[in-house]
């Protein structure tokens, strides 16, 4: 009954989406307010029914109803409750249902909070949103119905892939989808603007918060996924340039470019045509990512579903939306008027440079990901494009970009003064040089590249700080005045400082981890001691343990530093009987921002075990950076100037601040 209810709710959501995709457009043509307002109620009703459908699937998984194929194939009655819930989106059908749920959520949010939008724009945006939704409802209902029943229900399920039985699955896919799907809003806004043939600075102001929300989630989603891979896959890597990772990186790069170009459009009414194109491209890349992951066209660590009919269907959706979007763009964009002029050396100029490098980086990831597929289709030759290719082509693009980052906020709009900006960045430059010199001396000239890269990162961080110092007049004016100015600074200024500093922090982590990572591979017996980066790790012994749906072998290590006992680490290997597969649970010991990492290998015949121990200096900065970026995004989002068109809040905000 629950399954049928869920299925029916999904069909109703499709029906509502079909109404939402036609009636409001008609209303806009006829200038009929009532018809246009249909968009709002259908979007909210659609959200309700999709939520019902999703809740039904969760319910089926929680109650282990094995008469439903999806539950049978991906669940097990002994699985802990949390994994029963997360298992809902740990498979193809469920993850697509999550996808449309989030799409409906964003549609509902626009409907609920879009009161400031002109009514025809809102009608168009929601209609475009419903086109996307209809396509994906059809996809789910025709090719990937999660509510299919089995005639002869089995007693026990097949269990979820053990690699996915981790807290990472609870957070990573929903975050990623909130990001991916969130960009549908900027897409819908762009298409709506093209249909209406009107676009102005206000448009950018409406789009920017939505883009920012999507970007924050995508940033956190990618970082979370990277950390998950780092501790779960057991060889301490955190980015593999795997096609599935690239699929999420491409919309992120395009989305970051979009955030910056929308800023120019909002403030200076320039780059309109480009911003529209970026909005279309960003969501197109999200769709491409969905296609790559969900169609099984790639054979990669992440792709668990393979079925050609689905692939063709998504490819069709992809062609319709990307092709349609770009055609509409080609047809209507020339009608859009160019905005304000600016000199090459200006804030706008810096943001254009940012866009040039980010889109080139995005194009590099794009070609590297798709080239092997295309070549195989065209010539039949198989080639591989992996980490060494990307490290060589992608990384160099970030050097000029990161040199430019601190200059951007220092330049004035319209016409900037590069010399003055450079003078204000003098302190940051000195800090970078000192960092380089110190590292050089400390490492004894071992690696030349690493100190330079860290110097660059220090420059970016110090640059972000000097921007704040400049604006508050810190070090020049008395502390009280500077502090008052700091409070008065727009939140978006703090936001961009945090986000830019986050980039630098992540770079430090990446460089330190890749350059000064120590590794120890050995076969150890109980009471053997391994020495890694000054730490002594003694293997105390091996024990067997029984988990809820697995058996595990646990090794216990005692970690000492200079004779002082620090901690006990317990890496393990788990065997999942239902699927007959095993996972490696690495043990991590965090010391400041650095980590010790132990992962177990095979047991040899005579009671010894293969062990890999890593010391990863400052590795946590790799993920602290994105968290800072997301926090910066959040600060920007809370800037009241982004909350559109409300005439009253300005006063209310002052009142609130005074009360503090």
Partner 1 sequence: MRKLIAISFVVWMAAFAAPSARAVQPDEIMADPVKEARARDLSRELRCMVCQNQSIDDSEAPLARDLRLLVRERIAAGDSDSQVIDFLVVRYGEFVLLKPRFERQTLLLWLLTPLALAGGGLALWMHGRRRAKSGAGDDRSEPGLSAEEEARLQRLIAVEPPPENPA
Q: Give the length of the chain.
A: 660
Sole window of 88-96, 171-179, 339-347, 461-469 interacting with partner 1 (rule: CB under 8 A) = 339-347
CA 480 to chain centroid:
39
Under the binding rule (CB under 8 A), the answer on residue 325 touching partner 1 is: no
Stretch that binds partner 1, among 14-22, 143-151, 231-239, 525-533 (CB under 8 A): 231-239
Q: Do the beta carbons of residue 464 and residue 500 sit within 8 Å?
A: yes
Q: Half-sphere exposure of residue 159, counting CA atoms within 13 Å on the CB side?
A: 18
Among 248, 261, 284, 364, binds partner 1 (CB under 8 A): 364
Based on the shown chain and the rule CB under 8 A, indicate whether residue 601 belongs to the binding site for partner 1. yes
Interface with partner 1 includes 363 (CB under 8 A)? yes
If one asks whether residue 515 binds partner 1 (CB under 8 A), the answer comes out as no
Nearer to partner 1, 178 or 532 (CB): 532
What span, in angstroms and rounded, lies between the C-alpha atoms of 252 and 234? 26
What gap in Å lies between CA 504 and CA 485, rounded to an integer?
Answer: 25
Q: Does 525 bind partner 1 (CB under 8 A)?
A: no
Least CB distance to partner 1 at residue 120 (A): 8
**Minimum CB distance to partner 1, residue 479 (Å):** 19
| Choice from 112, 154, 308, 388 touching partner 1 (CB under 8 A) | 388
Residue from 142, 150, 330, 387 in contact with partner 1 (CB under 8 A): 387
Number of residues forming the site for partner 1 (CB under 8 A) = 64
> From the list 521, 529, 652, 656, which residue makes contact with partner 1 (rule: CB under 8 A)?
521
* From candidates 94, 234, 409, 626, binder to partner 1 by CB under 8 A: 234
3-state secondary structure string across 41-107: HHHHHHHHHHHHHHHHHHHHHHCCCCCEHHHHHHCCCCCCHHHHHHHHHCCHHHHHHHHHHHHHHHH
Q: 578 by DSSP, 3-state: which? A: coil
DSSP per position, 336-392: SPP-----SSSHHHHHHHHHHHHHHHHHHHHHHHHHHHHHHHHH-------HHHHHH
Which one, of 94, 160, 77, 167, lies nearest residue 579 by Cα? 160
Of 208, 612, 615, 616, the one binding partner 1 by CB under 8 A: 612
Stretch that binds partner 1, among 124-132, 138-146, 381-389, 539-547 (CB under 8 A): 381-389
Q: Judged by CB under 8 A, does residue 483 bind partner 1? A: no
Footprint (CB under 8 A) of partner 1, residues 182-211: 198-200
Q: Which is nearer to partner 1, 120 or 290 (CB)?
A: 120
Residue closer to partner 1, measured from CB, 304 or 440: 304
Contact with partner 1 (CB under 8 A) among 350, 385, 457, 465: 385
User: Which is nearer to partner 1, 143 or 300 (by Cβ)?
Assistant: 300
Which residue matches tokens 């502090």? 483
Question: Shortest Cβ distance from residue 388 to partner 1 (Å)?
Answer: 4
Site string for partner 1, 544-583 (x = CB under 8 A): --------------------------------------x-
As a dihedral over the C-alpha atoms of residue 565, residue 568, residue 571, residue 577, rounded to 10 degrees, the angle is 160
* Of residues 82 and 646, the one with the C-beta less far from partner 1: 646
What's the closest the beta carbon of residue 384 comes to partner 1, in angstroms? Answer: 5
Identify which of residues 379 and 546 has a Cβ nearer to partner 1 in the complex: 379
Residue from 81, 299, 480, 534 that binds partner 1 (CB under 8 A)? 299
Positions in 5-64 near partner 1 (CB under 8 A): none
Question: Is residue 341 near partner 1 by the rule CB under 8 A?
Answer: yes
Show the tokens assigned to 557.
């290590």
Q: Is 614 in the site for partner 1 (CB under 8 A)?
A: no
Report helix angle 347-379 to 395-404, nearest 10.
Answer: 170
Q: Pick from 346, 347, 355, 165: which is nearest to 255 by CA? A: 355
> Which of 113, 371, 442, 475 is close enough to bind partner 1 by CB under 8 A?
371
By CB under 8 A, name the one of 152, 478, 605, 651 that touches partner 1: 651
Residue 227 · residue 623 · CB < 8 Å = yes
Contact between 379 and partner 1 by CB under 8 A: the answer reads yes
243 and 298 in contact (C-beta within 8 Å)? yes
Helix (H) or strand (E) holding 552: strand 551-561
- Per DSSP, the three-state class of 647 is coil
How many Cβ atoms are within 10 Å of 546's Cβ, its own excluded?
A: 8
Residue with Cβ nearer partner 1 (97 or 258): 258
Long-range contacts of 23-32 (CB under 8 A, 24+ apart): 24/123, 24/124, 24/126, 24/127, 25/123, 25/124, 25/127, 27/123, 28/120, 28/123, 28/124, 28/196, 31/120
**The one segment of 45-53, 82-90, 372-380, 428-436 that binds partner 1 by CB under 8 A:** 372-380
The answer to whether the beta carbons of residues 214 and 182 sit under 8 Å apart is yes
**Binding of partner 1 by 389 (CB under 8 A):** yes
Largest CA distance in the chain: 83
Query: Does residue 473 bind partner 1 (CB under 8 A)?
Result: no
Contact positions vs partner 1 (CB under 8 A)? 118-120, 198-200, 234-235, 237, 240-243, 269, 298-301, 303, 337-341, 344, 352, 356-357, 359-360, 363-364, 367-368, 371, 375, 379-389, 392-393, 397, 521-523, 582, 584, 599-602, 610, 612, 645, 647, 651
């Amino acid at each position: 009954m629950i399954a049928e209810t869920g299925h029916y709710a999904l069909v109703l959501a499709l029906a509502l989406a079909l109404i939402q995709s036609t009636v409001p457009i008609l209303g806009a043509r006829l200038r009929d307010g009532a018809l246009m307002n249909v968009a709002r109620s259908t979007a909210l009703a659609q959200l309700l029914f999709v939520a019902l459908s999703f809740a039904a699937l969760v319910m089926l998984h929680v109650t282990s109803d094995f008469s439903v194929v999806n539950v049978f194939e991906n669940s097990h009655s002994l699985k802990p409750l949390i994994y029963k819930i997360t298992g809902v989106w740990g498979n193809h059908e469920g993850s697509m249902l999550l996808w449309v749920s989030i799409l409906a959520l964003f549609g509902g949010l626009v409907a609920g909070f879009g009161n400031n939008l002109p009514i025809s724009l809102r009608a168009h945006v929601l209609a475009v949103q419903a086109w996307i939704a209809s396509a994906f409802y059809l996809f789910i209902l025709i090719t990937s119905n999660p509510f299919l029943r089995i005639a002869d229900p089995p007693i026990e399920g097949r269990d979820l892939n053990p690699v996915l039985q981790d807290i990472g699955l609870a957070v990573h896919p929903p975050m990623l989808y909130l990001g991916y799907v969130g960009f549908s809003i900027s897409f819908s806004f762009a298409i709506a603007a093209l249909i209406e043939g009107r676009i102005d600075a206000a448009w950018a102001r409406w789009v920017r918060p939505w883009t920012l929300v999507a970007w924050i989630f995508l940033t956190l989603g990618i970082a979370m996924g990277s950390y998950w891979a780092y501790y779960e896959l057991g060889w301490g890597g955190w980015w593999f340039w795997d096609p599935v990772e690239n699929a999420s990186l491409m919309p992120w790069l395009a989305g970051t470019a979009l955030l910056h170009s929308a800023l120019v459009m909002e403030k200076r009414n320039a780059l309109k045509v480009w911003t529209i194109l970026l909005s279309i491209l960003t969501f197109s890349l999200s769709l491409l990512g969905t296609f790559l992951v969900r169609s099984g066209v790639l054979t990669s660590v992440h792709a668990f579903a393979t079925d050609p009919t689905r692939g063709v269907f998504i490819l069709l959706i992809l062609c319709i939306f990307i092709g349609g979007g770009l055609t509409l763009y080609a047809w209507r964009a020339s009608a859009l008027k160019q905005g304000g002029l600016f000199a090459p050396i200006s804030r706008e100029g810096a943001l254009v440079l940012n866009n040039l490098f980010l889109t080139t980086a995005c194009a590099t990831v794009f070609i590297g990901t798709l080239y092997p597929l295309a070549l195989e289709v065209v010539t039949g030759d198989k080639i591989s494009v992996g980490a060494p290719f990307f490290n060589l082509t992608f990384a160099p693009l970030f050097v000029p970009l990161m040199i430019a980052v601190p200059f951007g906020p220092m330049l004035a709009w319209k016409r900037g003064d590069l010399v003055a900006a450079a003078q204000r960045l003098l302190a940051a430059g000195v800090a970078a040089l000192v960092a380089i010199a110190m590292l050089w001396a400390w490492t004894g000239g071992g690696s030349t590249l690493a100190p330079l890269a860290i110097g660059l990162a220090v420059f970016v961080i110090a640059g972000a700080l000097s921007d704040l110092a400049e604006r508050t007049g810190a070090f020049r004016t008395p502390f009280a005045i500077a502090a008052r100015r700091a409070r008065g600074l727009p939140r978006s200024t703090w936001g961009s400082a945090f986000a830019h500093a986050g980039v630098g922090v992540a770079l430090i982590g990446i460089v330190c981890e890749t350059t000064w990572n120590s590794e120890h591979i050995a076969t150890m017996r109980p009471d053997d001691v391994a020495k890694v980066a000054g730490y002594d790790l003694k293997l105390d012994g091996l024990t067997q343990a029984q988990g809820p749906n697995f058996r595990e072998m646990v090794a216990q290590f005692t970690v000492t530093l200079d004779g002082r006992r620090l901690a006990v680490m317990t890496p393990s290997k788990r065997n999942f009987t239902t699927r007959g597969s095993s996972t490696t649970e690495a043990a991590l010991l965090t010391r400041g921002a650095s980590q010790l990492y132990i992962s177990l290998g095979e047991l040899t015949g005579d009671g010894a075990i293969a062990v890999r121990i890593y010391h990863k200096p400052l590795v946590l900065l790799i993920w602290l950076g994105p968290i800072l970026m997301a926090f910066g995004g959040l600060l920007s989002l809370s800037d009241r100037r982004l909350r559109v068109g409300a005439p009253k809040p300005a006063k209310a905000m002052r009142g609130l601040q005074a009360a503090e």
